[in-house]
Each structure stands twice: as structure tokens, then as C-alpha cells.
Structure 1
Amino acid sequence: MSQPPFQLSSWLVVVFAAVCGMTVANIYYAQALIGPITHDLKIPPAWAGTVVTLTQLGYGAGLFLIVPLADRVENRRLILLTVTALILSLVGSSLSHAAAPFMLCAFAIGLCSVGSQILLPLAMHFVAPERRGQIIGNIMGGLLTGIMLARPLANAIAAALGWRAVFGLSAGAMALIGGILWRVLPTYRPEGQIRYGDLLRSIGQLVVRHKTLRYRILYHGILFAVFNMFWTAVPLMLHDRFGLGQGKIALFSLAGAGGALAAPLAGRWADRGHARAATRGAVLGVGLMSFCTGLTVDSGWLLLTAMLALLLDAGVQTNQIVSQRAVYNLDNAARGRLNAAYMTAVFMAGAAGSLGGAALYSHLGWQGVSRVSALLCGIDLVVLFIGFRRGVRD
């Protein structure tokens, strides 16, 4: 079945980037609001982490259960349905006055925030192969900015209006986003009509079939674990070593948002045939920056540590863009499932990194976080060497 003609203009790329950023930010608001949420809803301290965990679990479930549907059902309708459900979940969170309904809404927020992971592969259907890296970079730049700005934005709104206002205002913003998407989204109906059970089973088959997918999961899974390890331990270190309060820690986290500026550049490098060099440089750079933060923190150099954090984030985002471009180019008819396999595995690696970051810092301090991160990047370089020797596609 032929698809209707559609041109992905520069303006639409900006819209898609903003949509992805605002959508994925919803996953991270609760991380900044654990204190007031647990106090207001009388959630025991031992269960405080559940607020964040349920949102993350919901997102992981959405990656595996919803994103593959992009290869089976009409994409425009699927995206609009996830946005509508997300709005209802956000409203439910803002109105919850007991732990149980809030926890249910937290899981639903994560589950329904995967619309951005359907929108990005959809855009690739309307872009020439030689421009895919550039477009992925531009859209992912918006998504990554949303991730990094979510925590300081949530802190600022909660300080002025209370934590419920964060979810209420986000629901209003997503309603506006939904209206824009209803006007501008193209129609895309996949040609295949695979049964849902077969669709999910085929995700594992794609992992087995595509060597590039397996290695790109390893490349970025390790790097994303380092990223989450770093940003989980950073607030603890900034408070203990530099005596920073919540507001100044939020300002430090803005340094990470600057790393999103690397995303468009990474996409252009990949389109010009430099994907392999970009991957090597990203992994080596992240390892070096991680190791150097051990020196700057010990020396009390806060500004230099912030600069290293920016460069570390830039390296991680560079590898993400290059890896997604390689994965999306493997099979046009299976982009939803390829993205589901890649993102679910990377997301799980990131979750492991978050757990490891807190544990490492509590037992070995920042030097432990720094050195283990550098060691993981060294392992990643070995995996890169093996993958390139085995002919992994760029």
C-alpha cells in the first residue's frame, strides 16, 4: 500500500523535537519531587523510591508492549492515543490524595510516555536515508533537553506552586501538544498485519538476526549505564563534598543539558560516514571525563567538574544518535520493533547503572564511581574493537 506524499519540513522537525522533549520529561518529574510527594501522601520512607521505580517500570513496559505496535497499526492514531492517556494519567496524579491511586497513575505516566519512541521512527519514513542521522540528531536533541531540564523545572514549579502543579501544568502542556499533533502528524499505516503475539516474539528474532542491533545495544547499554551511574551519584557527591543545597544541585544539572547540543552534530557526522569514529570518540571521551572527575572532585574544583559533566553528556548523546541511526537503517518495515528492542535493553542497562551509582558512592565514595565508570568504558572499547572486526554496520 503506497503512503501519501508528505514532506518533513524543518518546522516540523522542531515541533517533533519539542514534543519528544515535553513527553519524556514526564518520566523524570517524580525524581525531583520524592520528598514532598511522600510527605503529602504519607508514604513510608522505606517505600519512597517506589514513586520513581513505578514510573520507570511503566516506561519499560511501554517500550516493549506499545512501541512495537508501530509496525502493525496506523502510527498517527497510536501516538494520539498515548498522548490522550498520558494527559489523563497526569491529571490523576495531580488529584491523587492517597498513595495507591498516585502509584497507579505513576505507572501509567511511564507507560504512556513512549509516544516519543513511536514519533521518532515515524519521522524516518519521510526522510531520505542520507539525512536520517541529521534528523535523528535534531529530534533527539529536543528529547534529551527535556530529560535534563525536567528535574530543575519540577523543583522550580514545586517551590512556587506545590508538587501537584507540576503534574497539572504538564497535563495542560500535553493537551496543547496533542492538539498540535492532531493537526500536523502524517498518516502512516504499515503494510504488514502481524498478530500482536507474533509481533512481540519477533523482537527477539530481530535481535538474533541483526548483528548490528546486538552490538549497538552493547555499545550504548554500557555507556548509558555509566551516564545513569554518574547522575545518580552526583547529587549525593555535591551535597557531601561541596555542601550544595537542592537549588544549586539543580543548577549543576543544567550543565548536563548542554550535552544535548552534541546530538545534531553527531547526526551530521554519521551521515557523512564518520559513525565509527564518532562511536570510538564518544566511548573514549566518556571514560576520560569520568576518570578526570575523580581528580577535580578531590581537588574541590566545582566549575571544572561541571564542564566535565557537560562533555560526558555530549559523548553519551553522540553515541545514542549514531547507534539509533544504525539501528533504524536495518529494516524499514520493522523500525518499531527494532527501536523497542534497542531502547528496552538500553533502558534496563541504565536502570542497573542508577542502582550501581548509589551503591558505589555509599561504599567507595566518588572515587569508586569515577574509576568503575572509566573501567566500564574501557570494556566498551574492547567490545567496539570486536564489533568492528566482525563487520558491524555503521
Structure 2
Amino acid sequence: MKQQLMDPVLYLMSAAAGLVVANLYYNQPLLHQIAVTFQATESAVSNVALSTQLGYAIGLFIIIPLGDKISNKKILRIDFLVMIPSIIGAAISNSLLLLIISSFFIGFNSAIPQLFVPMAAELSDDKGRGRAIGIVMSGLLIGILGSRVISGLIGEQFGWRMMYYAATIIMFALFFLLKKKLPGINPNYNGSYNSLMKSLWFYFKTEASLRLAAFRGALAFAGLSAFWTTLVFLMEDSFGYGSGVTGAFGLLGVVGAMAATIVGKINDRINKNMILLFSAILLVISWVIFLFSSNSMIGLIIGVILIDLGLQALHITNQNIIFSKNPEARNRVNTIYMVSFFIGGAVGTSLGANTWEAFGWMGVSVLGLILSMSIIIIHLIFQKKSFSK
């Protein structure tokens, strides 16, 4: 009965997480169009995606710990009041610099989906925690992947600015829905914001499993970000396709994202070290396929499915591990993990763009292989500490 009452809330958080996090990724299939608009190089225009991810990482660090101290509804209200003008600023940008600045604030204020993941863990018992995280993460992952499909199609038909206007309308509607339907949670942390932030270092220093999860996540997301940042350039150069086809690749990743609930359930039953190893192996296989697929659409399709499935399984398992401890500080441990995750994404975006300019698709594929193999090596060396204090 409790789970039946909880499911509508979980699915609301899942949908909201997907719609908000989509703001981070609308720009990726549009980078070529943006480069043409501002007559910029590929590496220069990649700073739009880079600034969005850096903004997101900083927003995670500053905003998400407040979930252990301030009402979730108050955080959401303030956040949306800044997010919506930032999206409008991107839509009307008359220079690449203004677009980069607007993108930073879009990322900064799109961190709120990470309030929903600890909330799902908090509202669930131990047996259902993996399932609850999987439901919310499913929406988040579908938002990440589906955003590329939507922006690619809208960009190709109506231009890149129209995507930002559409996102503004979506955020207005979502704000009023969350204000009405999302249950309020009032945390009981009574310390100052300064002490709240200092405690992040305490948890990072004392939790070996948290440090390892953060490092695994950062490496995996660096690889995925390098892929998506450079895919649009590969599509243009090798296949002659525009943003519509590039964005449509997100549909393939949705196949993997739809399995998030299943991965969550498996997490409640199977040894997590085995899931982590299997996930990293999937990432390696995907990059091997990419290495030989610079002119193969079938190879790219198979690789996209595998890389998104591998990342999803690794990510959900990481979060289930860190949320199983320190229930009073779930927002803070999630902050540590997700800041590391998106710093990895930002680094991967930059490395991917520069590697593409210097070495092309083969260089990007080798970069992804190195990152994925590093996950396996680190996991095999330190797996005994994955669940230790």
C-alpha cells in the first residue's frame, strides 16, 4: 500500500528530473549550427557545452547540500526564478560569449533533479531503495538522451534558438506543476551553511566507497561526454547529416535508459561489485566498436546502445552504494558524487573536442578506451574498499 501511494510521487520526480536535466544537453546536436551562426571553430563552440556542464557541477556543489537544511519547495522556487531568465538569455544571445555565459547559468540552475534522487531514497525502505532510484534515474536518463532527439529535430527545422524558446515554456509549466504536486520535505539539519559545506570534506575523507564511486562516475561520464560532443562533427564530416540525425541517436540510448528500473531492482539482489565490473566492460566494448565505426552507421548504433546501458548500470549502482549509508546526509554525499560526475563530463567535453581537432574520430575512440579501461583497473585494485567505511 505504501508503495502504491509512493509511485505517483516517484513518477512525478522522474518526469521532472528528465525535463530539467534536458536543459543541459539541448545544445549538443546544435553545436554545428551555433558555430555557423557565430562563425566560430568547433573547439570554440564546444565551450557552450563545457560551460553548461561546469555550471551544473558548481550548482550541484552549492545548491544540492541545502537539501539537508532547507525545504525542497523553497529551493525549487528560487531556482526556477533564475533558470527561466537564463534560458531566455541563451535564446536571444547575439554573441558566442553571451551564449556561453547564459549556458553556464542554465547548467547552474538545472542541478535540482539531484534533489529528487536522495528524496526517492529517503522515501523508500531498504528493500525498495534500488527500485525507487531506478525510477527517478530512468526519467533523468531519458531526459538526457531524449533532449538530443528533440533539439536536433527542432534545430534542423526551426533553427537552434527555437529550442531555447520551447525550453522556456516547458520550465514555466513544470514550475507550477511541482509547486502544486510535489510533497514538501523539511530537513532537520540545524547547523550553519558553512558547517554544512565543511561536512562535505568529512564525508569525502571518511568514505572510501564514496571516493571510488565518484571516480568511477567521473571517468565514465567523461567518455560519454567526449562521444556526444564529437558525434555531431562526425555526422557532418563522414555522413553529411545534420543535427536531426545526430539528435535521433538519443532514441537509441533511451532503450538503455528504459532499463533503469530493472537495473535498480537487480541492485537490490545481486552483488554490486559484479554489476560495476560488467558495466565497465560494456563501456570498453562500446569504444572498441566506435573505433572501427567512423564510416559505419550500424556500428555507431550498436555502440550508442552499449555505452548508454553501461553508464546507466554503473551510475545507478554507484548511487545505491552511497545512499545505503549516512541517511541524514544523502544530499551531501550525492553532491560529492555528482560534482565529480559532471566535472568528469566537462573534462570529457573539452578533451573530446580538442582530440577531434587533432586526431579525428580515431583519437576520440582511443580516448574513450583509455577512460573506460581505467575504470576496470581501478575497480579491480580497490573493489574490496567499495563497500567499506
How does the TM-score come out when normalised to structure 1?
0.89
- Contact 2:217-2:314 at 8 Å conserved across structures: yes
Partner of 2:150: 153
- Contact 2:207-2:388 at 8 Å conserved across structures: no
Partner of 1:337: 332
> Does residue 194 of the first structure (1) align with residue 194 of the second (2)?
no
After the TM superposition, which of the residue ranges 168-177 and 30-39 deviates more from structure 2?
30-39
User: How far 1:6 moved relative to its partner?
Assistant: 10
CA distance in 2, matches of 1:200, 1:70: 12
> Does residue 22 of the first structure (1) align with residue 19 of the second (2)?
yes
Alpha-carbon distance change, 119 to 239 in structure 1, aligned in 2, over 3 angstroms: same
Partner of 2:312: 317
After the TM superposition, which of the residue ranges 352-361 and 145-154 deviates more from structure 2?
352-361
> Does residue 388 of the first structure (1) align with residue 383 of the second (2)?
yes
Alpha-carbon distance change, 190 to 62 in structure 1, aligned in 2, over 3 angstroms: same
Out of 277, 280, 285, which is 1:283 matched to? 280
- Contact 2:321-2:387 at 8 Å conserved across structures: no
Partner of 2:138: 141
User: How far 1:33 moved relative to its partner?
Assistant: 3.4
Q: Deviations over 1:314-367 (max 9, x none)?
A: 011110011011112221111111111101111111221222223333333333
CA distance in 1, matches of 2:174, 2:352: 35
Out of 69, 74, 85, which is 2:71 matched to? 74
Partner of 1:230: 227
How does the TM-score come out when normalised to structure 2?
0.90
Alpha-carbon distance change, 39 to 225 in structure 1, aligned in 2, over 3 angstroms: closer
CA distance in 1, matches of 2:135, 2:157: 32
Partner of 1:167: 164
Alpha-carbon distance change, 44 to 136 in structure 1, aligned in 2, over 3 angstroms: same
Alpha-carbon distance change, 99 to 360 in structure 1, aligned in 2, over 3 angstroms: closer
Q: What's the Cα RMSD here?
A: 2.6
Partner of 1:358: 353
User: How far 1:113 moved relative to its partner?
Assistant: 0.6
After the TM superposition, which of the residue ranges 362-371 and 135-144 deviates more from structure 2?
362-371
Alpha-carbon distance change, 7 to 207 in structure 1, aligned in 2, over 3 angstroms: farther
CA distance in 2, matches of 1:49, 1:374: 21
- Contact 1:79-1:119 at 8 Å conserved across structures: no
Alpha-carbon distance change, 85 to 225 in structure 1, aligned in 2, over 3 angstroms: same
CA distance in 2, matches of 1:338, 1:270: 19
After the TM superposition, which of the residue ranges 82-91 and 178-187 deviates more from structure 2?
82-91
CA distance in 2, matches of 1:195, 1:163: 43
AA matched with 2:378: V
Give the 3-state SS of the residue equivalent to 1:272 in structure 2.
coil
AA matched with 1:381: I
Q: How does 1:28-47 map to 2 (within 5 A)?
A: 28-34=25-31, 36-37=33-34
Q: Deviations over 1:64-122 (max 9, x none)?
A: 11111111111222123212322232234334556666554332211111110112212
CA distance in 2, matches of 1:120, 1:279: 20
AA matched with 2:299: L
Give unmatched runs, 5+ long, in structure 1. Answer: none
Partner of 1:182: 179
> Does residue 9 of the first structure (1) align with residue 45 of the second (2)?
no
User: How far 1:284 moved relative to its partner?
Assistant: 1.0
- Contact 1:212-1:393 at 8 Å conserved across structures: yes
CA distance in 2, matches of 1:24, 1:214: 24
Alpha-carbon distance change, 355 to 38 in structure 1, aligned in 2, over 3 angstroms: closer
> Does residue 59 of the first structure (1) align with residue 42 of the second (2)?
no
> Does residue 121 of the first structure (1) align with residue 118 of the second (2)?
yes
AA matched with 1:22: L
> Does residue 208 of the first structure (1) align with residue 208 of the second (2)?
no
AA matched with 1:330: K
CA distance in 2, matches of 1:391, 1:86: 36
After the TM superposition, which of the residue ranges 203-212 and 115-124 deviates more from structure 2?
115-124
- Contact 2:54-2:343 at 8 Å conserved across structures: no
Give the 3-state SS of the residue equivalent to 2:292 in structure 1.
helix
Partner of 2:261: 264
User: How far 1:133 moved relative to its partner?
Assistant: 1.0
Partner of 1:378: 373
CA distance in 2, matches of 1:318, 1:243: 33
Alpha-carbon distance change, 53 to 311 in structure 1, aligned in 2, over 3 angstroms: closer
Q: Deviations over 1:223-250 (max 9, x none)?
A: 2222222222333333333343333223
Partner of 1:348: 343
Alpha-carbon distance change, 8 to 200 in structure 1, aligned in 2, over 3 angstroms: farther
Give the 3-state SS of the residue equivalent to 1:307 in structure 2.
helix
Alpha-carbon distance change, 97 to 301 in structure 1, aligned in 2, over 3 angstroms: closer
Alpha-carbon distance change, 380 to 76 in structure 1, aligned in 2, over 3 angstroms: same
